[in-house]
Chains A and B, each alone.
Chain A
Amino acid sequence: MAGSRIDKFSNIFARVEGMIRSGALKYEDKPIWFNVYKAFPPKVNPTYTRKPSENQQVVNILYPEDLVRAKYYAVYGSQKSQEVVDLTEKETPTQCQRFVDKYFELKKSGRVSDDDLFRQAASFMRAQGFKLESEVEKKEQKELHNMAQEMFPS
């Protein structure tokens, strides 16, 4: 098709329309998208020379439960041996999510300090059959295991 190949100064519609107006392109030979574009133009004019919006601020998103989550992972780490997360599974909550839900459930019920809430939630989870081992416990166990191996090499 005839026309300027300078793509940066104007959008495709304005350039084709200009050619039709000047007679360089017959209206009958217009591209098939022309009338569709005219009827449904894009919300933002697709030109290269436009300026970015002045407000470049993006708000940070942080929820109250994030603090609990962070503490959970700091104390217990990710329970790799226990949990394999299937990303296509939408219904089952993760172990951490169960913990957080329980935490806020307990928080609603009464005034307890955050540390107590954390402990209560953990003991609830353990009672439910989830294996929760803190990083410190894991380390101690590993050391014990190593010591045993050194003393009684099999």
Chain B
Amino acid sequence: MFTFRIFANRTSSQHLNKALRQCSVLKGCNSQIRKIHTTRQCNRLASSKLQELQSEFNLQIKMEKDEEYPFDDFEDQVLTSPDFFEVKNMVTLHDLFDARVHFGHKSGCRNEYMTDYLFGSRLEVDIFDLDQTLPLLHDALNFMAHIAYRKGVILFLSRNLQNMHLIEQTAKQCGEYSHCRKWQENLFTNSVRHYRSEIRIPDLCVIFNTKDTTVEQHQVVSESAKLCIPTIGIVDSDCDPRLITFPIPGNDDTPATVQLYCRLFKQAILKGKAARAKAEKEKNDVKN
């Protein structure tokens, strides 16, 4: 059997014509044409050309579906369940309300991208819509638990001095890392120079407040985006949520609120790690 690999991208017709010529040379051979990596538009074009080929040369054509990667790893098997780590039972709307997650900043410092997440403005203070915050928080917790399950390195970040100790302790308790001190410029993007050797950068950044000072954004937001590191961030009404992969709209200043976030994040990470330990044990038992 002869296998053609056709790269059907923007120049797909050109490649297919070439394949057509080659097929005519190999007339009579049983050929298999494998089509990979196509955009949807080119898919249609390519499939019509392939049908021509098929009818003309009696080819056996195996089409591979676009954008489909195998989920064969045991890490990927848990992805089929919508809420494998049961994060939805971890927190209710009432917990958020009790922890004062709904309080935003003064309306004057509102970020225009945060308007969608607001319930209203009470006496010049923005109030978050917790009905929107809750599912976003669940998504973030689920993502975090999955990263912990895959043995990813998670970094906790904050520039709030009042809550620094709590966040550092939380990171320690769940066996992860924290950086709550002053962020040196290009710490991720130029890490080799900063640390004088190759370092492992985290797989997930959890940012407790995305502001470095009152006006500036924490540099880790753009640096993580540059290096393709996903971020989970608490975004208050004065923060920019655009580059945060999983933004959680809510209060980021009050100690009671940060305590809630710390409890939830720790719980999610420990759940992920426990599930991993269990899965590995089962795998080893099957082997033995």
Chain A contact residues, CB within 8 Å of chain B: 1, 3, 5-8, 11-12, 15-16, 21-22, 27, 31-33, 35-37, 39-40, 42-44, 46-48, 50, 52-53, 55-56, 58-62, 66, 87-88, 90
Q: Closest approach, in angstroms, between the C-beta of B209 and any C-beta of chain A? A: 18
CB of A53 within 8 A of CB of B116, answer yes
> Residue B120 contacts which of A22, A59, A66, A87 (CB distance < 8 angstroms)?
A59
Query: Which of B118, B119, B152 makes the CB contact (< 8 A) with A32?
Result: B152
The residue that B152 contacts in the complex, of A22, A33, A62, A90, with Cβ under 8 A, is A33
B79 & A12 in contact (Cβ 8 Å cutoff):
no
Q: Is the pair A35, B76 in contact by a Cβ cutoff of 8 Å? A: yes
Q: B residues within 8 A CB of A59? A: 120-121
B118 near A58 (CB under 8 angstroms)?
Answer: yes
Q: How far is the CB of B263 from chain A (nearest CB, A)?
A: 15
Assess the A61–B122 pair: CB atoms within 8 A.
yes
Minimum CB distance partner of B39 in chain A: A21
Q: B residues engaging A (CB < 8 A)?
A: 37, 69, 71, 75-76, 79-80, 98, 107, 110, 112-113, 115-116, 118-123, 126-127, 135-136, 139, 142-143, 146-147, 150-152, 189, 203-204, 222, 225-230, 241-247, 256
A61 in contact with B79 given A36-B146, A50-B242 (CB within 8 Å): no
Query: When the two chains form their complex, are residues A60 and B228 in contact, meaning their CB atoms are under 8 A apart?
Result: no
Could you show 8 A-B contacts with beta carbons less than 8 Å apart?
Answer: A11-B245, A12-B245, A16-B228, A32-B152, A42-B139, A43-B135, A46-B245, A58-B121
Give every chain B residue within 8 A of A8 (Cβ-Cβ).
225
For A31, the chain B residues whose CB sits under 8 A away are 203, 228
User: Looking at the complex, which one of B116, B228, B246 makes contact with A15 (CB distance below 8 Å)?
Assistant: B228
When distances are taken between beta carbons in the complex, the residues of chain A under 8 Å from B98 are 90
Residues of B contacting A39 with CB < 8 Å?
79-80
CA distance A15 to B245 in the complex (A): 13
Q: Find out whether the CB atom of A48 lies under 8 angstroms from the CB atom of B146.
A: no
Contacts A35-B79, A36-B79, A60-B122 given; indicate if A43 touches B139 (C-beta within 8 A). yes
Cα separation A62 to B247 with both chains bound (whole Å): 28
Q: Is the CB of A35 within 8 A of B126?
A: no
Question: How near does chain B come to A43, taking the closest CB pair, in angstroms?
Answer: 7
Choice from B115, B147, B228, B245 contacting A58 with Cβ under 8 Å: B115
Minimum CB–CB distance for A2 against chain B, Å: 10
Using A11-B245, A32-B150 as known contacts, say yes or no to A40 and B143 having CB atoms under 8 A apart: yes
